[in-house]
Chains A and B, each alone.
Chain A
Amino acid sequence: MSKAEDELYELLRIEHLDDLDDLEHVDIKHSYHAVLLDMRVGTSQVLQIIKSIGAINRSVALLCLYQNHAQLQQQQEIIALVDDFLLADSMAEGELPTRISNAIHRHHKEAQLLSEKNLLKQLLENLPDAIYFKDKQSRFLKVSKTMNQIYGFSNPQEIIGKTDFDLFTPEHAQPAYDDDQSIIETGKPIIGKIEKETMHDGQIRYVSTTKVPLRDTHNQIIGSMGMSRLVTELIEAQDQLEREGRLLKTIIDYALAGIFVKDRKGCYLIVNQRHVRFLGASSIDTVIGKTLFDFFDQTEAEKINTNDMAIMETGKGIEYMIDHRERKNTPDLWLLTSKVPFYDKTGNCIGLVGISQDITSQKEIEFKLKSVIKTLETTKLQLIEAEKLKTVGRLAAGIAHEVKNPLAVVTLGMDFLKKQLADSKEIMEVLNDMQIAADKANHVIFELLDYSSPHEISMVPKSINEIIEHVLTFMRHNFNEAQIELQLQLSPNLPAVLVDTKKMEQVFINLFLNAISVMPDGGKLTVNSHNETMQQAGSNVSSQMTECFRIGEKMVVIEVKDSGGGLSAAALEKVFDPFYSSKSTGNGTGLGLSVTRSIVDMHRGLITLENRKTTLGVCARLIFPTTSTNES
């Protein structure tokens, strides 16, 4: 053995098996780098052994030792499976360890290459993307299994040599080819480009493509390679999203309602033109990012804002809220608004969406209708009143005839007696007294006829105090008789009210007669008058008042308070109904509170009846607009 051979032997740890059968019991995989089979011993089981070693571990190098070339010739099948073979007859001295060492080395390299090749194969066969390698003319050199499947090639070789023009229509093939050529020319990759693949059968696919130059081992560009991932669903989803977005925008822009979206802080994120108008703003741009406080006064803005915040905090939307917007330079606006909170994916409320419909014209119709109904009601009451007066009139005419004739006789009789008895001063005095009495009786009859005769309504500005005082001059007696103390608190500076004197007198006659009737055992009647200015809606201002008077309007208020037993809730509700009377039949004046109210209505006034708060009794409250604001 040479020195070199010795050294090699020292590097190799060699174990010797005499019997091939013993090989089964050795852990070749973990124990050896190479197996040298001496084929001179016999070959009966060798093929099977070689195959089993190969299957177990390809990192083990296999060598076969033959006697001579002739023996080798008979073993062609085996030679193809082993890493090297040796011929005992022609082997040089010291060759064996070198050959073993080389075989191990070579085998290791081959195994490595095979592993890398396998990785590529795995990649090409299992990735769900289309992977391809093209030459400089953009002809396919190799493609992934997926790509073959996608383009319908069952035979993997079939696509080789084809180009994009074979797979796609020029609409896609041409730009793809141009991209390839640009990559080859410039060496610059194309990354994540969305391509629309147009197939010959009309099918359309969207892919995200990344292509890079293909280089040889000398780093020379020899083509291109790339990977295309199917993104049709993604693109379609994007398209769908974009379509939906446009649809939503169209709906928002052209809806016949104001639409708005606010963030959690109340800043406008989205508004349409119509809502911009509701806000009194000039354009959408001037609204986005702003809040209610930029468009309304502090009180109004706070009111709406509190409402909005509550919606976002509680998650409870509101539907069909009627929203009255007073505006400075334009007519008031009535909106029908619905608002709902909206949430992000995790369920956090991130704002609210609202829709407002302009119902101003409907409201105007409603108001007109209300006014028409009121007029009709007043007319109805006036008709009832007229009918009643007609009855009173007929009665009065009958009485007049029956009373005046005897009075005529009395008058003329006294005239005659005066002439006959002119000399007696005493008789003349008696006759004069009788004449005065007859005149008074006649006056009463005239009053009755006047009262019941229909007359034109004539509205004149007059102080209500004057009317009250006039009525009291001929009613004071009734109060005295009923032992009712009268307390007047009439404001000396009462503004004038446009009134029909006679009608207004009736109002107070009715109220006073009612008061007398509810205080059969005497009591106290307080009548006060003063002026007020209409305030904003609040605890002191009823809805009836807001319907009758404008804010800031000057009003005259008269309160007639009795100290009777008061009225039940049911009575208070019905007291203004025609023909309602709490008095027993026969005690009524024939002109009930319904007529009183119709007269008050005619004067654009308001009458309310309520029980007094601090003491028993009823307070009738009359409110009239003053002439200063009553142009109509």
Chain B
Amino acid sequence: MKAKTSNTPKLEPRRVLLVDDEVSFTRMVKLNLEASGKYAVRVVNESPMAQQVANEFKPEIILLDVVMPEADGGDVAVQLRQHAVTQDTPIIFVSAMVSRKESGSGFYESGGEHFLAKPVSTERLSSSIDSVLAKRV
């Protein structure tokens, strides 16, 4: 972990938008990701606010919880895909509703979408973000 952070000091941190209603979870993700210096994380705990924050923050990648009160992950994703600012921004769904068989190592693709199973380690989170972003470039 330390080696990785020291290898990329010169790069601009990648803008990560995290949409999840679990405050403690978003706090932990933000702490861990930003501790690496590689990412700048903006948190949205109220899903209907996601689009508005995204428009302003212009994330390079969005981590989106699936089960949320008010607008769930699916609704939010549809909205984001329809908006000019966010339509090409990759989304990783982060869900507790994933069985081991589906998730395999914890990160997987299905129907063109990326999924991460909760709970997830910082390392897995980081490598998943990097791999999705790498494909975009």
Contacts and interface: CB of A to CB of B under 8 A. Distances in A.
A412 interface: yes
B97 A453 contact: no
Interface in B1-39: 1, 22, 24-25, 28-29, 31-32, 35
A416 B28 contact: yes
A415 B22 CA distance: 18
Nearest to B28: A412
A405 interface: yes
B120 A408 contact: yes
A442 B124 CA distance: 15
- Which residue, A403, A408, A453, has most C-beta atoms of chain B within 10 A? A408
Contact of B25 (A397, A409, A415): A409
A407 B35 contact: no
Nearest to A449: B99
B119 A410 contact: yes
A410 to B, nearest CB: 7
B135 interface: no
Nearest to A403: B96
A462 interface: no
B1 A453 contact: no
A407 B119 contact: yes
Contacts of B122: 412, 415-416
B60 to A, nearest CB: 21
B76 interface: no
Given A405-B118, A450-B101, A416 B31 contact: yes
Contacts of A400: 96-97
A141 interface: no
A411 interface: yes
A408 B96 CA distance: 9
Given A401-B97, A408-B96, A412-B29, A442 B119 contact: yes
A630 to B, nearest CB: 28
B26 to A, nearest CB: 9
Nearest to A448: B99
Contacts of B100: 446, 449-450
A141 B24 CA distance: 148
Given A397-B97, A449-B100, A408 B31 contact: no
Contacts of B87: none
Interface in B94-137: 96-97, 99-101, 117-123
A183 B17 CA distance: 141
A520 B100 CA distance: 35
A205 interface: no
A413 interface: yes
Given A401-B67, A405-B22, A411 B121 contact: yes
A404 interface: yes
B107 to A, nearest CB: 14
A545 interface: no
Given A401-B67, A446-B100, A415 B119 contact: no
Contacts of A438: 119
Contacts of B24: 406, 409
Contacts of B35: 416, 419
Contacts of B25: 405, 408-409, 412
A419 B35 CA distance: 9
Interface in A435-481: 438, 442, 446, 449-450, 453
18 contacts: A400-B97, A405-B118, A408-B28, A408-B118, A408-B120, A409-B25, A411-B121, A412-B25, A412-B29, A412-B121, A412-B122, A413-B28, A415-B123, A416-B122, A419-B1, A442-B119, A446-B100, A449-B99
Given A412-B121, A453-B99, 17 more contacts: A401-B67, A404-B119, A405-B22, A405-B96, A406-B24, A408-B25, A408-B96, A409-B24, A409-B25, A410-B119, A412-B25, A412-B28, A412-B120, A415-B121, A415-B123, A419-B1, A449-B100
Interface of A: 397, 400-401, 403-413, 415-416, 419, 438, 442, 446, 449-450, 453
Ranked nearest first, the 8 interchain pairs of A and B with the lowest CB-CB distance are A404-B96, A412-B28, A408-B119, A446-B100, A449-B99, A415-B122, A408-B118, A407-B119
Interface of B: 1, 22, 24-25, 28-29, 31-32, 35, 67, 96-97, 99-101, 117-123
